[in-house]
């Protein structure tokens, strides 16, 4: 299936490590051109230059996805460097886990700014170009938290539920103009975000999973790559779940 993303000009957020970096590598392997965004400028530059050295067409910029004006300018820079984006992967996210009454207003806002507003800012920035060109793909990286509520992870599941709502609502609005919007909801994956959680939690969670193991970033990237490809042409407003059996839909 190598080359099925030839001609894709893809913006990936949260691309310096973990699932975002695996998505970037998978897309390059399928022939796409990339523009990578992350808030960790040093790590982003290092990984982007590594991908360039391997022969990929890769641009990058440090940006805050919660700043709509900055993202609009960053997408304009992407258009100048790799061409008008015709695919977007909203991967950037942050764990915000609390017991509800111990949650501060600032943490509530941080959760929604990054996990929801940031995805909308990026989508809003790329949509005019996609609609003018007659097509495009937007993929939102959600979580099994959107389906299964775990105690003391508030308000993260609320934000991920909202992200799936945005996926469906936006798909309904723009699919008739050639823009497919879908989501991927991974289960536990061996990424820096998951490694921040306690050893006890990770051991207990593995025992709950039908596969008995966490996923790897590359396995999630394969799902995202499929949804970006022509093979997924009938997928609109859908969510795929590479989750080790954690949620069965």
Q: Which residues have a catalytic role annotated? A: 156
Instruction: Report the C-alpha gap between 132 and 97 in whole angstroms.
Output: 40
Whole-angstrom CA distances from 1 to 6, 27, 238 are 11, 12, 22
Element (H, E) at 106: helix 105-112
CB 17 within 8 A of CB 29: no
In order of 191, 207, 209, the CA distances from 203 in angstroms are 15, 7, 10
Burial of 109 (0-12, 13-18, 19+ CB in 10 A): middle
């Amino acid at each position: 299936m190598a080359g099925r993303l030839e001609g894709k000009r893809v913006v990936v957020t949260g691309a310096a490590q973990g699932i975002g970096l695996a998505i970037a590598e998978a897309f390059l392997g399928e022939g796409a051109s990339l523009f990578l965004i992350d808030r960790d400028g040093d790590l982003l530059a290092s990984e982007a230059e590594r991908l360039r050295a391997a022969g990929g067409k890769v641009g990058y910029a440090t940006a805050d996805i919660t700043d709509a004006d900055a993202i609009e300018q960053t997408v304009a820079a992407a258009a100048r460097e790799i061409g008008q984006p015709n695919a977007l992967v909203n991967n950037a996210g942050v764990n915000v886990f609390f017991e509800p009454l111990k949650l501060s207003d600032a943490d509530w806002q941080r959760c929604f700014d990054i996990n929801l507003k940031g995805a909308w800012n990026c989508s809003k920035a790329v949509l005019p170009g996609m609609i003018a060109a007659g097509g495009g793909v937007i993929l939102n990286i959600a979580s099994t938290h959107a389906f299964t509520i775990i105690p003391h992870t508030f308000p993260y599941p609320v934000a991920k539920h909202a992200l799936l709502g945005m996926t469906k609502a936006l798909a309904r609005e723009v699919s008739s103009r050639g823009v497919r919007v879908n989501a991927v909801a991974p289960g536990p994956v061996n990424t820096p975000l998951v490694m921040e959680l306690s050893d006890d939690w990770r051991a207990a969670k593995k025992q709950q999973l039908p596969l008995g193991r966490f996923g790897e970033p590359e396995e999630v990237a394969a799902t995202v790559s499929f949804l970006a490809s022509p093979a997924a042409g009938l997928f609109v407003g859908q969510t795929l779940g590479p989750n080790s059996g954690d949620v069965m839909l």
